[in-house]
Amino acid sequence: MPQAPTIEQETDTEEALDTPWNVVVHNDPVNLMSYVTRVFMKVLGFPRERAERHMREVHEKGRSIVWTGGRERAETYVQQFHGYLLLATLEKSE
Amino acid sequence: MHITRLDRRTLALAQLNPVCCELLRKIVSSADPGEDGPAHARLFQTPTAGREPEADRDWREYVEPDLRRLFQDALEVVAEDLKTLSGEGRRGGATLCIPVPNLEAWVHALNQARLAIVAREGFSEKEMDGRVPLEGEARALTLFQVHFYGFLQEAFLRELP
């Protein structure tokens, strides 16, 4: 008969779920700036000005954190970005 | 080559010379990432870039098939529209009419092709910017193909709402 998880393990799981995650978009010299801006507007609902600001950050600094929150939603955003062929990863927020 | 709106629902690429026609016909094959290699790696990324091998494995198993279908759907729209390419060999060049609702698929297909080509050929940023000379005519023509697709992608993006 399998043992029920200990309280300590449940707490670890809860903490992992509560830990905020960053959705990070990375620079790719092939992707057009206009395309990246449009994808930010479509996926994250950013107004144009904010989308362009993040696009410039990706272009100039190599990456931009475009969203922070729960892991599950972060994965959904990363999957959508991959669907648009943007380079995107998720990482634990500091 | 001219890009014009024929009406609310149709965009026309007119006066296409044979080189442009050939490059248009190569969009679908150029976008093919294959089963492995640099083009496949670029088109099918993992969410943690190796930091969480198990999560990346799950991604490949459960997410990659959906992405593959998404990419294939866009290419099928392009392939179907290309069947209407007409007038090749005509003095004024060929014409391709694209339904405006299909432009989104064209944008994705062109992007896919550009990324796959650059990954396969290993073009550097300097080569793409023209800051270093290219070795060989074939390589130069392939880079021209990338830039031609980029030109079309920008033009189509301007037509999207």
A14 located within any domain: no
Output the six-digit token pair for A11: 């707490």
Which residue in chain B is spatially nearest to A37 when comparing CA positions?
A: B157
- Tens of pLDDT, residue by residue over B117-152, are 999 999 988 888 888 777 788 899 999 999 999 999
- d(Cα A71, Cα A94) in Å, to the nearest integer? 14
- What is the pLDDT averaged over residues B23-51? 94
Kindly determine whether residue B49 and residue A88, on different chains, have CB atoms separated by under 8 Å. no
Task: Domain count for chain B, please give it.
Answer: 1
Task: Domain count for chain A, please give it.
Answer: 1
Interface test with B, best of A31, A35, A77, A86 (most B CBs within 10 A): A35
A81 located within any domain: yes
A87 located within any domain: yes
B78 located within any domain: yes
pLDDT tens digit at each of 94 positions of chain A? 555 544 444 444 544 556 899 999 999 999 999 999 999 999 999 999 999 999 999 999 999 999 999 999 999 999 999 999 999 999 999 8
Q: How far is B87 from chain A (nearest CA, A)?
A: 31
What pLDDT does A16 receive? Answer: 52
Report the predicted TM-score, pTM, of the whole model to 2 decimal places: 0.89
Interface test with A, best of B40, B44, B48, B121 (most A CBs within 10 A): B48
B94 located within any domain: yes
Task: For chain A, give percent helix, strand, coil, nearest 5.
Answer: 55, 20, 25
- Tens of pLDDT, residue by residue over A27-44, are 999 999 999 999 999 999
B69 located within any domain: no
A88 located within any domain: yes
Q: What is the dihedral of CA B53, B59, B62, B68, to 10 degrees?
A: -130
Kindly determine whether residue A82 and residue B153, on different chains, have CB atoms separated by under 8 Å. no
**pLDDT confidence tier of residue B35, bands split at 50, 70 and 90:** confident
What pLDDT does B136 receive? Answer: 81
A13 located within any domain: no
A55 located within any domain: yes
List the single residue in B45, B111, B157 with the smallest CB-CB distance to A82: B45
**B12 closest CA partner among B99, B88, B110, B93:** B99
A9 located within any domain: no
Which residue in chain B is spatially nearest to A33 when comparing CA positions?
A: B154
B102 located within any domain: yes
List the single residue in B47, B154, B160 with the smallest CB-CB distance to A78: B47
Kindly determine whether residue A85 and residue B108, on different chains, have CB atoms separated by under 8 Å. yes
Scanning the structure block, which residue is given the tokens 């098939």? Answer: B65
Kindly determine whether residue B48 and residue A31, on different chains, have CB atoms separated by under 8 Å. no
Which residue in chain A is spatially nearest to B111 when comparing CA positions?
A: A31
**A44 closest CA partner among A28, A60, A63, A65:** A65
Kindly determine whether residue B150 and residue A82, on different chains, have CB atoms separated by under 8 Å. no
- Which chain B residues touch A39 with a CB distance below 8 Å? none
- For residue A82, give Cα distances in angstroms to A75, B19, B43, B105, B139: 10, 31, 8, 15, 28
CATH number of the domain encompassing residue A27: 3.30.1390.10
Kindly determine whether residue B153 and residue A87, on different chains, have CB atoms separated by under 8 Å. no
A41 located within any domain: yes
Provide the residue range defining the domain that includes A68.
20-92
Provide the residue range defining the domain that includes B97.
2-39+74-159
What pLDDT does B43 receive? Answer: 96
What pLDDT does A11 receive? Answer: 44
B64 located within any domain: no
